[in-house]
Structure 1
Amino acid sequence: MGLFRSYFALRLLTLLPSFYFTAAYGRGKPFADSYGIRVNTHTHYDPNIGVATSDDTTYTVDITLGGQNFTVLLDTGSTDLWVNSRGLELTLANTTDLAMTELYGRGEVHGTLQFAELRVGDYVVPSQAFVNATQVLDFGVAVDGIMGMAFDVSFIFAGISTAWGRESASTLGRSFITNLFAENLSLPNNFDVSLGREDAVEDGSGTFVISGHAPSFVDVTEAPKLPRIGTDRWTFAVDEMRVNGESVPFNKSSVAASPDGKLVALLDTGFSFPPLPRAAVDAIYNTIPGSVFSVANNGYYVPCNSTTMVSFFLGGQEFPVHPLDLTFPFVGTLPSKGGVETSVTLCLGTYQPITLDPTAFAGFDLALGDAFLRNVYASFDYGDFNPWTETQGTPFVQMVPTTDSRTAVAEFFDERGATLAGLPPTIDPAEYFRLWAAASSASASSDSESEDIAVSGALSADDDNGSSPSGWNKTFRTAVLALLGANLAVGLALLGVTVTMCVRARKGRSVGSRYVPVRFKEAEATGRDAEYGAPRYGSD
């Protein structure tokens, strides 16, 4: 168990973070209170802090922590801030030797709890708790860390609670966004996110606004308020999913608090490819002729110039998914001939069967990650809860659609055609797997092994309702293993709860791809209600 160094221990009982805000944006309320919050009237203030992507799989924000600049993943699915300082000299506000571990579905981060000044856009927190990483294991994202935007039921909060008590954790263990809101009654306690798309339709830049709304989306306040379900995540009820206008029936939700006939979805900017119940994924990709499901990779491979239309309904609103967000182009190789490899282009289905352990990841049935969130402008609001005034409230989200279903298909063919023109020739997924199977025929799987791929859509022999890939099946386990080995550089592996992503080659850039797994957050602070108290915002 780590201890505060002596000069910090003297301040433990009196330390309350004071915040220096450089602008007030949103409802126009002044904010200055007994906690020392001040307004710095910058004339160049930009309400949009901004969120960026270069590959449609990782969305990042630039921050300054301890005097050093970092690019961190913006993550609505977790709470804590951690950075890999890589030997940089940080200016610390306070320091401890308390060991911290951040666990994910795949990957983990080890380090120590420290405090430093944090700057995010024009907002400054003089003493923000964070994990200064000393070990980053099995973590493939090319970012400097993660900034969580959820609720204070977290590893840092739990660690401080265990070491110094819940009262200390309530002040010292706050996340960045909690620090901004908990100390200031007049600051509107919402943040808004709109994710960009790196293609001709958009430019990869997005919106991240705190305590207000982007000028072109002020009407988000008129959208239905979707109340959070549960206590520690941004989870909400999904009314319905439609594919090509046809409703896809849901099974019963695994969440006790779910409204009848609805599923509970986690809105998570840290999850690139959304995991859905298998039947829902089948319903999407079985409508696309020539799609292939691979058991080994837990996903569909789809002809790159084919698509379908998908939409989700939340709060009675329809949110169409752009066809560009249903598949992800990447470069693979065919079996070598005479030592020469041939590059080809395939497309991976972005919506994939959920494989999360329900005992570790309770509280939701599916996660609507980036491939969904690129189609909405979302305002995350913590409600009216305040721990000092004992004001209660339920956090909620308001969203407006940003994809026009009337123009989306035409945009898909224009943009996808332009993208494919700069990549190697495409190949039919079934043919790709067949060639690898033929190359590996000497070590083909035995008949006792389970099926590995299924071809759906127009190639299915007996799939009448389009709800399962049970048509044309073959055993290709050994072939796929060979494929994975040959494409190690491509990173074509979806293992366990890891979501595989490949950086999409752009026009005018060299063709290539890498694989970037975005981990799913473990259940945080187990036993939270009894040991750590209610989350800092909201109460069900």
Structure 2
Amino acid sequence: MRCFTYSWRVVIVGVTMVVAHARAVVLRGTRLPLQSREAASLQSAGNITVTNANGTLSSVSFRYVSNITVNGQHFRVAIDTGSSDLWLATPKDFVFDNTNISMVDMYAGGNARGTIGFASVEFGGYKVDKQAFNNVSEVTIGGILDIGLDGFFGLSFAGDQPSVIASTLDKDKTYANQSQPFLYNVFDQTPGHDNFIGISLSRPDDAEKSADASFSINELDESYAAVVNTSVVPLFPGNNGRWSVLIDGMSIDGIDIPLTGWPSWVRGAPRGKLVAILDTGAPGAQAPDLVYKFIYSNIPGAKFSQSDYSWTVPCNTTSILSVKIGGQDFPINPLDLADIRVKTNGSYNDSVCSSSWRSYDAIGDFDLIFGTAFLRNVYTVFNFGNTVSSSPAAGNASIQLLSLTDATAAAAEVMTVRMAQVARMRIPLDPNNPSKIGPSPGSVAAVENSPPGSSPSSDSQIAKYGPIVIGLLGANLLVVLVLAVMGLVMCVKRGAKSGSRPRTSTYARARVDEDMQALDSYNEDKPYEDHTRPYEEN
């Protein structure tokens, strides 16, 4: 008999710092309308900031978020395929079984310190009555509590490197066999299934139209059913508890990136191939420094900034990055190569598109981090492998990827999405500097942004200095009239004495040499054409 499964598809409006919410009625294969509203007000719980918002899978800033229920209370958590543990910042009055056993979840961007507790957890139609989690008291990771979320929900597996919760509790016989991550407990409830999750991520830049995101446990999103016909890609190395795979090749606008020149840090990786981890919890993407520079130095008009080690990219770039995995090419939408960043500079906005990918030179289990900038372009099936008595092992785990990006259509989306995004800011592209958008200093727009009741000169200033200004103007006018009359009288007398004589013009037309080239006028359709490449590798 087929066990109950649960899946949903949601429509997401991707606006920075706007949270999308759905009603609690979920039907399989049914698209749910979402209501957009501002992030919920924050509450204080000791040193931890928490939120009481509800919702399903949605995009908040650069995180992808879902709602879970813990001991009857709703929490909004970022889903993360790069880790295994569940940690929460709970309110002061939250009741749960606290072991008082200290632990620390460590991430590349910071730590989450707390004590291990147990509670009933419901997620994706499944319920685990006694789920271990980290009840945090100190968090140094950005982009979670500071944007109104409650925690992190790990969707990875243990492999040879178990979760911190598991490794901590397994030392105490009191909690034997109670330390599994949530998904492992779910898979134990469904022994007849293949133990997988399916994820597609929306692109928040699609602000004028809704974008689809989906998450499912042990069931495929029917919109992406074709993924069953794609290659099964085994994990590599497959024993480190990570969703990492071999990268066969990469190219930018058809130019191959010579991966053979940069050997992998991962032991056993074939020559000419790199290892990438697929991580929904990582914003953008990261690559080895030379790969990173090769990508952006081959985008026309891109400029390297040594100060913050990033690239300024033309906002209307249509360059296509392609990644080959399992023998298949996956094009990356140009919208995922750069993000709009607006910096207020006095009375105007100095706005640029900055590289979404970053440099990463770590020695360890992988060479690249394929975060949201890659995962928005694919529907991904994370297959945990077959259940063996309790937790699934990583040895036979794999992924399958269905490409969602058409290179030709993606280039067209740059104008309909990215340029529309610029237009919504009500700040036109500056033709003298295509990377700068915004009203010039002293423009009407700058005045409109003044505080209420303010103006370039107040009524009190006019009343105070008005009479003085008028008096000075009158005196100046009188002096000018006197001087004009005196000058006219002197000219008449001088002319009577000497008579008139012809004068030659004191102005001559400047000659333009025939070999001079006129500057091309700004072309709205191709504002970055013929720019020389500012960065070259030695």
Which TM-score tier does this pair reach, normalised by the shorter chain?
A: 0.5 to 0.7
- The aligned counterpart of 1:203 is 210
- The aligned counterpart of 1:243 is 252
- The aligned counterpart of 2:111 is 108
| Residue identity matched to 2:90 | S
- The aligned counterpart of 1:261 is 272
User: Could you tell me how far 1:51 is from its partner in structure 2?
Assistant: 2.3
Determine if contact 1:284/1:308 at 8 Å carries over to the other structure.
no
Determine if contact 1:302/1:429 at 8 Å carries over to the other structure.
no
Distance in structure 2 (CA, Å) of the matches to 1:237 and 1:244:
21
User: Could you tell me how far 1:50 is from its partner in structure 2?
Assistant: 5.4
User: Could you tell me how far 1:264 is from its partner in structure 2?
Assistant: 0.6
Q: CA separation of 1:305/1:402 partners in 2, compared to 1, >3 Å: closer, same or farther?
A: same
User: Could you tell me how far 1:294 is from its partner in structure 2?
Assistant: 2.2
Match of 1:331 among 331, 334, 342: 342
Q: CA separation of 1:313/1:97 partners in 2, compared to 1, >3 Å: closer, same or farther?
A: same
1:148 paired to 2:129: no
| Residue identity matched to 2:377 | N
1:46 paired to 2:28: yes
User: Could you tell me how far 1:229 is from its partner in structure 2?
Assistant: 1.2
1:174 paired to 2:180: yes
User: Could you tell me how far 1:457 is from its partner in structure 2?
Assistant: 9.0
Q: CA separation of 1:111/1:254 partners in 2, compared to 1, >3 Å: closer, same or farther?
A: same
Distance in structure 1 (CA, Å) of the matches to 2:375 and 2:535:
35
Determine if contact 1:346/1:426 at 8 Å carries over to the other structure.
no
- The aligned counterpart of 1:161 is 170
Distance in structure 2 (CA, Å) of the matches to 1:462 and 1:364:
27
Match of 2:532 among 459, 477, 482: 459
| Residue identity matched to 2:353 | C
User: Could you tell me how far 1:279 is from its partner in structure 2?
Assistant: 2.0
Distance in structure 1 (CA, Å) of the matches to 2:278 and 2:343:
31
User: Could you tell me how far 1:222 is from its partner in structure 2?
Assistant: 1.7
Match of 1:407 among 406, 409, 412: 409
Determine if contact 1:243/1:284 at 8 Å carries over to the other structure.
yes
Q: CA separation of 1:321/1:159 partners in 2, compared to 1, >3 Å: closer, same or farther?
A: same
Determine if contact 1:193/1:379 at 8 Å carries over to the other structure.
yes
- The aligned counterpart of 1:77 is 82
Determine if contact 1:288/1:458 at 8 Å carries over to the other structure.
no
Determine if contact 1:290/1:430 at 8 Å carries over to the other structure.
no
- The aligned counterpart of 1:23 is 4
- The aligned counterpart of 1:33 is none
The SS at the match of 2:185 is helix
Deviations 1:273-301 (A, max 9, x none): 10011222222222233322223322211
Q: CA separation of 1:205/1:187 partners in 2, compared to 1, >3 Å: closer, same or farther?
A: same
The SS at the match of 1:289 is coil
| Residue identity matched to 1:259 | P
User: Could you tell me how far 1:351 is from its partner in structure 2?
Assistant: 1.1
Q: CA separation of 1:461/1:81 partners in 2, compared to 1, >3 Å: closer, same or farther?
A: closer
The SS at the match of 2:251 is strand
Q: CA separation of 1:150/1:375 partners in 2, compared to 1, >3 Å: closer, same or farther?
A: same
Aligned alpha-carbon RMSD (Å): 3.0
| Residue identity matched to 1:24 | T
User: Could you tell me how far 1:244 is from its partner in structure 2?
Assistant: 0.7
- The aligned counterpart of 1:87 is 92
Q: CA separation of 1:44/1:131 partners in 2, compared to 1, >3 Å: closer, same or farther?
A: closer
| Residue identity matched to 1:314 | I
Distance in structure 1 (CA, Å) of the matches to 2:90 and 2:415:
43
User: Could you tell me how far 1:363 is from its partner in structure 2?
Assistant: 0.9
- The aligned counterpart of 2:287 is 276
Give me the identity figure in percent.
31
Determine if contact 1:331/1:345 at 8 Å carries over to the other structure.
yes
The SS at the match of 1:421 is helix
Distance in structure 1 (CA, Å) of the matches to 2:367 and 2:215:
27
Determine if contact 1:188/1:212 at 8 Å carries over to the other structure.
no
The SS at the match of 1:363 is coil
The SS at the match of 1:162 is coil
Distance in structure 2 (CA, Å) of the matches to 1:419 and 1:401:
25
Distance in structure 1 (CA, Å) of the matches to 2:85 and 2:70:
14
| Residue identity matched to 2:94 | E
> Structure with the greater relative contact order (CA < 8 A, sep ≥ 6): 1 or 2?
1
Match of 2:242 among 216, 233, 236: 233
User: Could you tell me how far 1:43 is from its partner in structure 2?
Assistant: 11
Distance in structure 2 (CA, Å) of the matches to 1:96 and 1:457:
65
Deviations 1:291-328 (A, max 9, x none): 22223322211121223111101001111101111110
Determine if contact 1:286/1:457 at 8 Å carries over to the other structure.
no
The SS at the match of 1:59 is strand
User: Could you tell me how far 1:138 is from its partner in structure 2?
Assistant: 4.9
- The aligned counterpart of 1:132 is 135
Determine if contact 2:361/2:367 at 8 Å carries over to the other structure.
no
- The aligned counterpart of 1:320 is 331
The SS at the match of 1:459 is coil
Distance in structure 1 (CA, Å) of the matches to 2:256 and 2:389:
42
Determine if contact 1:196/1:202 at 8 Å carries over to the other structure.
no
Distance in structure 2 (CA, Å) of the matches to 1:229 and 1:124:
31
User: Number of residues paired by the alignment?
Assistant: 394
- The aligned counterpart of 2:321 is 310
Determine if contact 1:217/1:377 at 8 Å carries over to the other structure.
yes
| Residue identity matched to 1:70 | F
- The aligned counterpart of 2:123 is 120
User: Could you tell me how far 1:123 is from its partner in structure 2?
Assistant: 1.1
Q: CA separation of 1:202/1:79 partners in 2, compared to 1, >3 Å: closer, same or farther?
A: farther
Q: CA separation of 1:316/1:98 partners in 2, compared to 1, >3 Å: closer, same or farther?
A: same
Distance in structure 2 (CA, Å) of the matches to 1:215 and 1:286:
40
1:212 paired to 2:219: yes
Q: Which consecutive residues of structure 2, in runs of 5 or more, have no partner in the other structure?
A: 8-23, 31-54, 438-528
Distance in structure 1 (CA, Å) of the matches to 2:394 and 2:210:
40
Match of 2:303 among 287, 292, 312: 292
Distance in structure 2 (CA, Å) of the matches to 1:366 and 1:190:
23
The SS at the match of 2:304 is strand
Q: Point out the structure with the larger strand share.
A: 2
- The aligned counterpart of 2:366 is 364
Determine if contact 2:184/2:390 at 8 Å carries over to the other structure.
no
User: Could you tell me how far 1:164 is from its partner in structure 2?
Assistant: 3.6
| Residue identity matched to 2:215 | F
- The aligned counterpart of 1:185 is 191
Determine if contact 2:191/2:387 at 8 Å carries over to the other structure.
no
Q: CA separation of 1:324/1:331 partners in 2, compared to 1, >3 Å: closer, same or farther?
A: same
Q: How high is the TM-score relative to the length of structure 2?
A: 0.68
1:352 paired to 2:358: yes
Distance in structure 2 (CA, Å) of the matches to 1:192 and 1:345:
36
